[in-house]
Amino acid sequence: MDIGWQKTIFSGVVALLSTFPQSSGAQQRSDITLFENVRIFDGKSTALSAPSNVLIRGNVIESISTVPVSIDRRADVLVVAGGGRTLMPGLIDAHWHAMLVAVSPAESMGDVGYNNLVAAREATDTLMRGFTTVRDVGGPVFGLKKAIDGGVVEGPRIYPSGAMITVTSGHGDFRELTDLPRTIGGMLTRMEQVGGAMVADSPDEVRLRVREQLMQGASQIKLTAGGGVSSPFSPIDVSTFTEAELRAAVEAAENWGTYVAAHAFTPAAIQRAISAGVTCIEHGMRMDEPTAKLMAEKGIWLSMQPLPEELRLNFPIGSAQRAKAEEIWPGIARTYELAKKYKIKTAWGTDVLFSRTLARRQGAILASLARWFSPAEVLIMATSTNGELLALSGKRNPYPGKIGVVEHGALADLLLVEGNPLENIDLVGDPTKFIVIMKDGTIYKNALAQ
């Protein structure tokens, strides 16, 4: 039998696996872990604590004390000598696309096996950048999440949305014109088959598609309520879903005890989403002052991203995507200013797509918030505030317990940092400054052990 093609595929997989990042040694998991002599950023305060000791039992922080902790230093006790370094919560990215960040648009609708291998490699990279949790807001991420949770792959906690729900010609509709006309109930296109996005053009279809994501384990639902930059047939100014369609999604999510996040840029799209009961607006970069005021009055969350210039410049000059990017980018600063003025509940994320190079700058993108916020405000946003947003998933929360904080009873997602990020926010943009990376009580990087 000719097995040449099998050898070729196997060689390709081996070559890809060889590029997977490695932890700084084997995972370290002990019944008890003690961080000695650390200064704590707890995820909420604007100053570090006095020198402290943090005791972890299993995957939970058991105690925090400024006095020495007396323990039976048996073989299953791991002591980490902090040496006065900063202990802080693991970072949380509230707008991530784990399956789409490191592949091209064409690859994202191609070979599923290859895409999963690439996503697994990127998930390990993400964890090694200090991001212990991500909220995935669109993509076929359920298998990757299962592999991480089961210990098959090293990566962050994932709060999955599953396929983003869109309408015909909405943001997230990456079909070709040759896929038209669409037959209701007809064969799914490749985009839908792989679980990247699902098209829904009536309240009933919206309910169906939302329920399918919840059935697969979605912790929240993502809809695209307005036009978007990367989609080829989705002008920025367009409001896509009708209010009745949006309400159908909100009702289905609320029946499961969770919420809907809506991609929207313009005042019209944002206000329609709010009227329908959406909990969180993604982006919002063309909002006006009345819309910002409405969001503050209604307690609506804003999930914003300080999009890097490289992301805009990646779109070819003269393309529809580049023209739409030029519309959006000037609104970033204005939206952050409005969010501060009206004290809107503001989460942080990156929204990196189709660029492994930009993914490596995940921490640097966080640090770029220093243009509008103090280092303490930046870190609070990327830890405890993002943790509050993720907790809105209620009983659909795949990781019950507190994240984004260093306090008694919180889950042990922790970073030991060389230096004080409350004084130098750029430290979070340099993964080498993370001396220890712990997720769920397991240490994945320990430079002190080398």
Per-residue pLDDT tens for 138-162?
Answer: 999 999 999 999 999 999 999 999 9
Quote the CA–CA distance of 430 and 380 in Å, as a whole number.
18
* Confidence at residue 26, expressed as pLDDT on a 0 to 100 scale: 60
Buried b (16+ CB within 10 A) or exposed e, 183-201: eeeeeebebbebbbbbbbb
Out of 3.20.20.140, 3.40.50.1220, 1.10.287.470, 3.40.50.300, the CATH code matching 91-396 is 3.20.20.140
Instruction: Give dist(CA 38, CA 88) in Å, integer.
Output: 10
Show the tokens assigned to 146: 């299962």
Q: In what order do the strands lie in the sheet with 260-264?
A: 197-199, 164-166, 221-224, 260-264, 280-283, 301-304, 346-348
Helical segments of 59-110, H only: 105-108
Q: What is the DSSP string of 253-288?
A: HHHTT--EEEEE-SHHHHHHHHHTT-SEEEE-TT--
Which residue ranges make up each domain of the chain? 28-90+404-449, 91-396
Round to whole Å and give the CA distance between 64 and 173: 49
What single-letter amino acid sits at 96?
W
Residue 289: predicted pLDDT? 97
- Cα–Cα distance measured from residue 178 to residue 363, given in angstroms and rounded to the nearest whole number: 40
Residue 1, judged by CB atoms within 10 A of its CB (0-12, 13-18, 19+), counts as exposed
The structure tokens 């909220």 sit at 135
Rounded Cα distance, 58 and 390, in Å: 22
Q: What pLDDT score does 73 carry?
A: 67
Spans of the chain below 70 pLDDT: 1-26, 73-75, 450
Q: Which residue has the tokens 């985009």?
A: 191
Query: What is the model's pLDDT at position 335?
Result: 96
Q: Does domain 28-90+404-449 have CATH number 2.30.40.10?
A: yes
Helix (H) or strand (E) holding 443: strand 442-446
How far, in Å, CA of 277 to CA of 339, rounded?
20
Q: Return the pLDDT at 229.
A: 85
Q: At what angle do helices 289-298 and 267-275 cross, to 10 degrees?
A: 20
Q: What's the one-letter identity of residue 344?
A: I
